[in-house]
Amino acid sequence: MVIETFDIDGVAVPHHVIKITGDGACLFSSLSYLVHCTASLTLRVRADIVRHVSNNWRRLKPYTLTINKVPYRTKRQYIADMSQPYLVTALPNKTTRCD
């Protein structure tokens, strides 16, 4: 594990750098690592998130985006797209860097 130092408001803050494979599922791999300390549960984390969003579709629909950065029109299309293991997600104003 690599340690890098970032300057935050003039303070050198050490961070551990965790390599996550940039395979189109890196957001979910990162979340899996944060929650479970392993990226091996990526598919489970993704399925849990897709299930949560679809179960709360009315409330969360405005926050869903297709790969073209437009909101999903239907829950069915969201589930079909997001159930693919390596679909790259579109996040507004967020950048997830994975190598």
What's the pLDDT score for residue 62? 93
- Terminal-to-terminal C-alpha distance of the chain: 15
pTM over 0.85: no
What's the pLDDT score for residue 26? 86
Every domain of the chain and the residues it spans: 2-82
Tell the burial category of 72 from Cβ atoms under 10 Å away from its Cβ (0-12, 13-18, 19+). Answer: buried
Residue 62: C-alpha distances to residues 53, 58, 59, 71 (Å): 11, 8, 7, 6
User: Can you give the pLDDT of all 99 residues of the chain as single tens digits?
Assistant: 688 998 999 999 998 888 888 877 888 999 999 999 999 999 999 999 999 999 999 999 999 998 888 999 999 999 999 988 776 655 543 444 454
What's the pLDDT score for residue 50? 94
